[in-house]
Amino acid sequence: MFTMRRWGVFAAIAVGLAGLATPAQARTDYELDVPVAEYSTQSTNIRATADGIAADEDGMAIYSPTELPMQVNAFEADAPGAQVDVRGRLPDGQWTEWTDNGQLDEPVSTVQVRLVLAKQSEVRGARLRLRHDPRRVTANARALSYRVYATREGLVGGKTANGHIIVQRDHFAALPSRRGLAPKGSGSYTVQVCAGNGRCAWAPVWDVGPWNTRDDYWNQPRQEWNDLPRGVPQAQAAYQNDYNAGRDQFGRDVRNPAGIDLGDGTFWDGLKLTGSSWVTVTYLWTVPGPFGYVHTPGDTLNVRGGTSSGTAVVGIAGHTAQVRVECETRGEVVTGSQGTTDGWLRIAPGKFVSKAYVSGVTGAATC
């Protein structure tokens, strides 16, 4: 259990990870003691010790969300041996990006904690002080799309940053920052990737790279390299313009301008690419409006050019991928993981999926 304290009050209030505490007064500071040994199954490369947790290789400990009795948008963390990332759940169920800079993108009343451990490190305790800072201005929602260079990840049999074991013709993406890294088996951070041939793919972000690990180039400000234009990956600037003497954050010579890596299935089957290519990437967690999640365990979902199985396949959405719903219409009756329905969702201009395979969609307009 997390322990939550109101600063300046001697009594401690213990609350469950999903519990709700009632403060004695509104708009104050709270402290959360993270139960470091109670990490979730979405954690990777973490083991329990007698007095905490440890990582024999780079790892992440993820904890269940915690409901707070107030909205917060700022925090201070104390966790010797780990980097503390925090994200917040928004009213529509989407999450803010993970952040370690003490500032959340928007005021939230539900937070989640992730501890990032380097190889051969240990953590015995972690504590957060959360507060609402009225001076912080909430950024307006904005759909972010950028044209970046995509490479194929490969590495079948390897492990991604979130602990996923890569299989043949896998469907996922990698971005060069943990800020948009989805927990294992989830699609809370998904990219829509469209190629010049007109095909698009929807893939959850399950790995970190290429080249860098702190280059959230779609943000402004970003974690590093703030003298670069928004939307330009550091690797692209290094390769094309000899930025940072042509090297990445680790001092390696950058040999391509990649801003995204794609799993083999996303690359070959979703986009029908045969070689590295420039693509348009939309970071779907930045897109406002209705959304849902693809449920096709062990398989993918065909994206079609119309509302029947007889129309052309114009892309692929991976299992757990998030799709943003432009509108809903009627078409062929389909039976899938979510039941039987004639509902079809337009998830991009001219691109549809059957609602029979998509969960959680509410409030979609009629096409």
Are 269 and 296 in a shared domain? no
In a domain, 366, yes or no: no
DSSP 3-state percent helix, strand, coil across the chain (nearest 5): 10, 45, 50
Q: Which of 344, 312, 342 is nearest to 326 (CA)?
A: 344
**In angstroms, rounded to a whole number, what is the distance separating the alpha carbons of residues 150 and 170?**
15
pTM of the model: 0.92
The first and second tokens of residue 47, run together, are 């083991």
Are 50 and 149 in a shared domain? no
In a domain, 254, yes or no: yes
The strand pairing partners of 95, in sequence order, are 89
Higher pLDDT, 266 or 25: 266
**In angstroms, rounded to a whole number, what is the distance separating the alpha carbons of residues 145 and 205?**
15
Say which residues have a Cβ less than 8 Å from residue 228's Cβ, sequence separation at least 6.
217, 222, 234, 237, 243
* pLDDT range class, residue 26, cuts 50, 70, 90: low
Are 121 and 156 in a shared domain? no
pLDDT digit string (tens) for 182-215?
A: 999 999 999 999 999 999 999 999 999 999 999 9
Are 75 and 106 in a shared domain? yes
Q: What is the pLDDT of residue 2?
A: 53
* pLDDT range class, residue 4, cuts 50, 70, 90: very low
Q: Which of 164, 167, 168 is nearest to 206 (CA)?
A: 164
CATH classification of the domain holding 317? 2.30.30.40
Contact 105, 71 (CB under 8 A): no
Single residue among 286, 317, 341 that ends a domain in this structure: 286
Lowest model confidence (mean pLDDT) among 16-30, 57-71, 74-88, 184-198: 16-30
**In angstroms, rounded to a whole number, what is the distance separating the alpha carbons of residues 87 and 101?**
11
Contact 72, 108 (CB under 8 A): yes
Are 179 and 207 in a shared domain? yes
pLDDT digit string (tens) for 338-348?
A: 999 999 999 99
Say which residues have a Cβ less than 8 Å from residue 239's Cβ, sequence separation at least 6.
246, 254, 255, 256, 257
**In angstroms, rounded to a whole number, what is the distance separating the alpha carbons of residues 68 and 104?**
14
Q: What is the pLDDT of residue 18?
A: 36
| Range(s) of the domain holding residue 328 | 291-359
Q: Which of 360, 324, 321 is nearest to 345 (CA)?
A: 324
Q: What is the pLDDT of residue 285?
A: 96
Q: What is the pLDDT of residue 95?
A: 97
Backbone angles phi, psi at 259, to 5 degrees: -115, 0
Are 34 and 154 in a shared domain? no
Single residue among 259, 286, 313 that ends a domain in this structure: 286
Are 275 and 329 in a shared domain? no
Question: Longest Cα pair distance anywhere in the chain, in angstroms?
Answer: 67
Q: What is the pLDDT of residue 31?
A: 94
Are 247 and 312 in a shared domain? no
The first and second tokens of residue 199, run together, are 């095909």
Indicate whether 17 pLDDT > 60: no
Higher pLDDT, 277 or 27: 277
* pLDDT range class, residue 232, cuts 50, 70, 90: very high
Residue 220 CA, chain-centre distance (Å), reads 17
Q: What is the pLDDT of residue 136?
A: 76
Single residue among 243, 259, 286 that ends a domain in this structure: 286
Are 6 and 122 in a shared domain? yes
Are 200 and 323 in a shared domain? no
pLDDT digit string (tens) for 126-181?
A: 999 999 998 877 766 679 999 999 999 999 999 999 999 999 999 999 999 999 99
pLDDT digit string (tens) for 85-101?
A: 999 999 999 999 999 99
Q: Cβ–Cβ contacts within 10 Å for residue 353, how many?
A: 28
CATH classification of the domain holding 119? 2.60.120
Q: What is the pLDDT of residue 134?
A: 87
In a domain, 44, yes or no: yes
* pLDDT range class, residue 8, cuts 50, 70, 90: very low
Say which residues have a Cβ less than 8 Å from residue 276's Cβ, sequence separation at least 6.
149, 150, 151, 152, 256, 258
Q: Show contacts of 220-228: CB within 8 Å, 24+ apart.
A: 222/177, 223/101, 223/177, 223/179, 224/249
Higher pLDDT, 300 or 6: 300
Q: How many domains does the chain have?
A: 3
In a domain, 136, yes or no: no
Are 296 and 249 in a shared domain? no
Are 47 and 79 in a shared domain? yes
CATH classification of the domain holding 218? 2.40.40.10
In a domain, 272, yes or no: yes
**In angstroms, rounded to a whole number, what is the distance separating the alpha carbons of residues 342 and 356?**
8
In a domain, 318, yes or no: yes
In a domain, 138, yes or no: no
Indicate whether 337 pLDDT > 70: yes
The fraction of the chain above a pLDDT of 70, given in percent, is 91
Residue 83 CA, chain-centre distance (Å), reads 17
Averaged pLDDT for residues 247-252: 98
Averaged pLDDT for residues 54-76: 96
Averaged pLDDT for residues 280-291: 96
In a domain, 364, yes or no: no
User: Which residue carries 């004639």 as its tokens?
Assistant: 342
Indicate whether 11 pLDDT > 80: no
